[in-house]
Structure 1
Amino acid sequence: MDIYLKYLLIGLAIALPVGAITIEMTKQGLKNGFLHGWAVGLGGMTIDFALIVLMSLGFASFLSLPFIQIPLWMVGAGFLAFLGYDSIKNADKDITPADEKTKKSFWSTYRNGLLVAVSPGNLVFWVSVFGTVLSESYISSDKWNFAGAAIGVLSGILIHDLGLLSIVSVTRKVMSRKMIRAVSVIAGVLLIGFSIYFVYEFILALLPYIS
C-alpha cells in the first residue's frame, strides 16, 4: 500500500505540468465534450501500460538504448506536427455545442492520444522511474512491488485526467464557438512548438555520433 500511494503521488505530479497530452485533451474536451477528452487520455494511458508490460518482461535495458530512443524524437515530432497542423486547419470544424451530441468518432480522438504519447520523453520517464523499482523487486521477496508502483502511477494520471476534464466540461458550457476555435488554434501552435523541441532534442542526441 505504501508503494502504491507513493507512486500515485508521482503519477499525479508527472501529469500536472502542461504537456502535449494535456493540450490535446483540453482541445478535444472543449470541442466535443468529456468523453472525447477522456479518449485522448485513454490513448496516452494505453501507451503507458504497454511500456509497463514491456519493462516487466525485461525490455527496460533495450528501451533505454540510444538507437531506440533517438529515432523516437523524430517520430514524436512528426506526430505532433501533424496533430498541430490539423488542429489549426480544422479549428472551426468538429465543434459540438454543449447541448448537442457530437458526431466525431471516439476512436479518432483515442488515436490522437496514442500518437501524442509516442515520445522518448514518455519512454525515458517510465524507464527511469521504474528502473529502481524493477531492481528492488528482483532483490526483494515481495514480487508485487513493481505492480503496485505501476498501478499507483496510472491511478495518479487517471485522477489528473478526470479532474482536468471535469473542469473543461464545466468551462465548455460558457464558451462561445469563437473562443473554442481560438483554443484549438493555440493548441495547434503549442503542439507544433513541442514538435520543434523534439527535433532540437533529436539533433542534440545525434551530435555525439556524427562529430
Structure 2
Amino acid sequence: MTIYWMYLLIGFAIAMPVGAISVEMIKQGLKHGFMHGWAVGIGGMTVDVLLIVALYFGLANVLALPYIQLPLWLIGAVFLGLVAYDSIRQADNDITLAGEKPVKSFKKTYATGLLVAISPGSLVFWVSVFGTALSNSYATGKGSFLIVALGILSGIVLHDIGLLTIVSYTRKVMNRRAIKISSIIAGLILLVFAAYFLYQFIVGVKAYL
C-alpha cells in the first residue's frame, strides 16, 4: 500500500499543472456548476484509463515514434485552436448562475472533456508522462503496474474534486459578466497550449531538416 500512496501523490502532482483539461473543467464548472466540471474530468479520466490499458499491452509505444508524433503535434495545435475559438465565441452562451438549472446536458459536457483529452498533442504528452511513471512498475510485475496505475488515477481524481470544489464556491459570488470573462480567458489559455503544440511541431520539423 505504500506504493499506492506514493503514486497517488505523484498522480496529484501530475494533474496540478494547468492543462487543457483543467482549463475546460474550470470553464464548465463556472458556467454550469460542479457536476458539469466533473463531467469534463470524467471525459479526461476515460482517456487516461485507455492510455494506461494501451501501455499495459504495449500499444502506446507507437505514439513514441518521432515520425508519428510530428503530425500529432500539428493536428493537436489545430484542434485546440478550434476549441479555444469556440470558447471565446460562445463565452456569453449557456451561462447558468448559481441556483439555476443547467441547460447543457451532462452527456454533452462529458463529450467536450473527452474531445479535449484526445487532442493528439495531449495524447503524446500523457503517453510520455504515464510511460515514465508506469514503465518501471511493469518490469517488476503486473500487480505492481495495476497498483501504480490505480494510485496515479486516484491522485488525478483527488485533484479534480479539489479543483471543482474551489470553482463551485467561487461561482456562487460571480455574476454573468464575470463568468463570460472567465470563459474568454479560458479560450486564450487554450490558444497558448495550441501555440505550444505548434512550436513542438516546428521544432520537430527543424530536427528532420
TM-score of the aligned structures, taking structure 2 as reference length:
0.94
Structure 1 position 80 matched with structure 2 position 80: yes
The answer to whether the 8 A contact 2:4-2:151 is kept is: yes
Q: Is the 8 A contact 2:12 2:155 kept in 1?
A: yes
Partner of 1:95: 95
Q: 1:132 to 1:69 in 2, by over 3 A?
A: farther
Cα RMSD (Å) of the superposition?
A: 1.2
Q: 1-side partners of 2:89 and 2:190: how far apart?
A: 13
Task: Give the secondary structure class of the aligned counterpart of 1:18.
Answer: coil
Question: Moved runs in structure 1, 4+ residues, more than 4 A?
Answer: none
Superposed CA deviations along residues 52-73 of structure 1, whole A, max 9, x for unmatched, are 0011112243232123322221
1:43 CA displacement: 0.9
| Partner deviation per Cα, 1:22-77 (whole Å, 9 max, x = no partner) | 11100000000011100111111111100100111122432321233222212221
Instruction: Give the Cα–Cα distance (whole angstroms) in 2 for the partners of residues 24 and 60 of structure 1.
Output: 25
Change (3 A) 1:38 1:166: same
Q: What count of residue pairs does the alignment treat as equivalent? A: 205
Of 122, 125, 129 in structure 2, the residue corresponding to residue 121 of structure 1 is 125
Q: Which runs of 5+ in 1 are unaligned?
A: 138-142
**Residue in 2 that maps onto 1:157:** 156
1:131 positional shift: 1.7
Q: 2:168 corresponds to which letter in structure 1?
A: S
Quote the residue 1:181 is aligned against. 180
In structure 2, what is the Cα distance between the partners aligned to 1:135 and 1:67?
A: 27
Whole-Å separation in 2 of the counterparts to 1:136 and 1:11: 20
Q: Would the aligned equivalents of 1:80 and 1:195 in 2 still touch at CA under 8 Å?
A: yes
Q: 3-state DSSP class of the match of 1:158?
A: helix
Name the amino acid aligned to 2:180. R
Deviation at 1:187, TM superposition (A): 0.4
Q: Which runs of 5+ in 2 are unaligned?
A: none
SS at match of 1:97: coil
Contact 1:79 1:115 in 2 (8 A): no
Identity of aligned residues (%): 54
- State whether residues 60 and 127 of structure 2, in contact with CA within 8 Å, keep that contact through their aligned partners in structure 1: no
Q: TM-score, normalised by structure 1?
A: 0.93
The corresponding residue for 2:169 is 170
Superposed CA deviations along residues 100-126 of structure 1, whole A, max 9, x for unmatched, are: 111102222212212222212122111
For residues 83 and 108 of structure 1, the distance between their equivalents in structure 2, rounded to whole angstroms, comes to 14
1:161 CA drift (Å): 0.2
Give, as a single letter, the amino acid of the residue that structure 1 aligns with 2:152. V
**Given residue 96 of structure 2, which amino acid in structure 1 is its aligned partner?**
T
- Asked if 1:48 is matched to 2:48, the reply is yes
Contact 2:137 2:145 in 1 (8 A): yes
By how many angstroms is 1:205 displaced? 1.7
- Which letter maps to 1:163? G
- The amino acid that maps onto 1:68 is I
Deviation, structure 1 residue 168: 0.6
